[in-house]
Structure formats: C-alpha cells, structure tokens
Amino acid sequence: MARPVVYRTDQASIGVTVAGITLPEGSWDVLEGAENMVEGVSVLPGGMAPQRALGGIPKRGPATVKRLWSEPLVIIFKQLDALAGYGDIIITYTVLNRNKTATIFTETYTGVMGTVSRPNYEAKTSEPAYLTIEAELDGELS
C-alpha cells in the first residue's frame, strides 16, 4: 500500500470549512491522505491465458487535517465533536511556491466529517499538540 500524501503549512495553504461552525482564520498545519484509490478487478479469461486486470472503480481515500492546539479550540472542538459522523466538510489546499506565495494550483475536497480528536497531553513530551479531523471524502474533486 502506498504511503499517504502529506501537505504541511510550509508547502500549501490548507483551508477547512465545516457547515454551521465558525473556525479560526488561517491555514491548518497538515493535510494527509485524500488519494484516489482503485479497487482493481482481475479475471481469468480462460483458454490457458494469463490472468488479466480490468481496472476498477476509483474511490477517494480519507483525509486527515490537523491544526496546532490552542485555547480557543476547546469550544470549537466540542462543536465539531457534536457533528462527527454527519457534518459537511470542505477541505482545500493551494500549493505555495518557494517564496511562500500561492500558486494557481488549488484542490477542493468535499465530504463528511468523521472522527474529531483533541490532543492527548503528556507532561514529559515535547511533541506538538493538534486538533485532528478525519473526513470521508466524496469521489470527485469540486
């Protein structure tokens, strides 16, 4: 299985919109996943011919977005958590050039918000803490 694609805030401007919730301005820190995956089908044509791939139906894989945890996200986490499993979500990313300005390449994904996670705090770690949203995406780009 291929490793998921990861965009960081230094590579792309990542936006998240959830219907009914006002999220803080600014780019999210990480977008991971959202690859187009194909569940292939193979057949045995018969007559001693080798197995043959027929292709398959593409399916957009799940996406995960992360934002560095901050105090204002406590209330927003509770709002997001209440919509987990059915809230509409839009995720966009615009690739940045080496001067950190936006290029014309922008992708938009739509779908349904899945799991929403707040950070697990551990006193003896220096790992950054993130609000994480996993989303199940529609099959086509908008």
- Residue 122 inside a domain? The answer is yes
Q: Quote the domain boundaries for residue 37.
A: 6-137
pLDDT at residue 1 tops 50: no
Q: Would you state the pLDDT for residue 3? A: 57
- From residue 28, alpha-carbon distances to 52, 55, 111, 138 in Å are 43, 35, 17, 21
Under the banding of pLDDT at 50, 70 and 90, the label for residue 83 is very high
- Residue 142 inside a domain? The answer is no
Q: Would you state the pLDDT for residue 141? A: 61
Q: CA 73 to CA 19: how far, in whole Å?
A: 16
The pLDDT of 68-81, averaged and rounded, is 91
Which are the contacts of 62, defined by CB distance < 8 A and separation ≥ 6? 33, 34, 114, 134, 135, 136, 137
DSSP characters for 73-92? HHHHHHHHHHTTTT-EEEEE
- Residue 1 inside a domain? The answer is no
Q: Which residue has the higher pLDDT, 66 or 103?
A: 66
Q: CA 130 to CA 29: how far, in whole Å?
A: 9
Tens digits of residue pLDDT in 26-54: 899 999 988 888 777 778 777 777 887 87
Q: CA 83 to CA 85: how far, in whole Å?
A: 6
> Among the residues of the chain, which ranges form H helices?
73-82
CATH code of 89's domain? 2.30.110
**Residues 141/63, Cβ–Cβ less than 8 Å:** no
- Residue 68 inside a domain? The answer is yes
- Residue 85 inside a domain? The answer is yes
This model's pTM is above 0.75: yes
Q: Which residue has the higher pLDDT, 79 or 2?
A: 79
Q: Would you state the pLDDT for residue 128? A: 83
Q: Give me the chain's average pLDDT, please.
A: 85
Q: Would you state the pLDDT for residue 109? A: 92
- Residue 69 inside a domain? The answer is yes
- The total number of structural domains in the chain stands at 1
